[in-house]
Amino acid sequence: MEKQDTARERQPWWLVLCWSMIGLGFDWHSPFLSFYGRYSIFSTPVLHRIGLIVVLCAAVALLAVFVLRQARWRDAGIFFCLVSGLAYGHSILEWIVHK
């Protein structure tokens, strides 16, 4: 009985994919704001900054899943979205203040 309850609580794969795509959207928009007007959307400095932000957010998300004992690997998508959203919020505030 307990095994069936835990199987029902698991997130479907498409929901993990949605959370990850939202996080990638946050990660893309952050460097785009910081380089606004100087570089194009898909220029090398923007893509390098996006890659760095994605790797750092993914590392923090995987560390959170590893540290929290109740978290499952499918929760990494939610953690990635949350960490990316926090980084996005920080970059928005920085962009507004230093505009």
> Over the stretch 41-69, which tens digit does the pLDDT of each residue have?
788 888 898 899 999 999 999 999 999 88
Residue 50 included in any domain = yes
Residue 42 included in any domain = yes
Please give the residue range of the domain that contains residue 47.
12-97
Residue 7 included in any domain = no
Cβ neighbours of 25 (radius 10 Å): 14
**Domain count across the chain:** 1
Cα–Cα distance for residue pair 15/60, rounded to 1 Å:
20
Confidence of residue 1 (pLDDT cuts 50, 70, 90): low
Phi-psi map region of 37: left, alpha, beta (phi>0 left; psi -120 to 50 alpha): left
Residue 4 included in any domain = no
Residue 6 included in any domain = no
Residue 34 included in any domain = yes
Residue 2 included in any domain = no
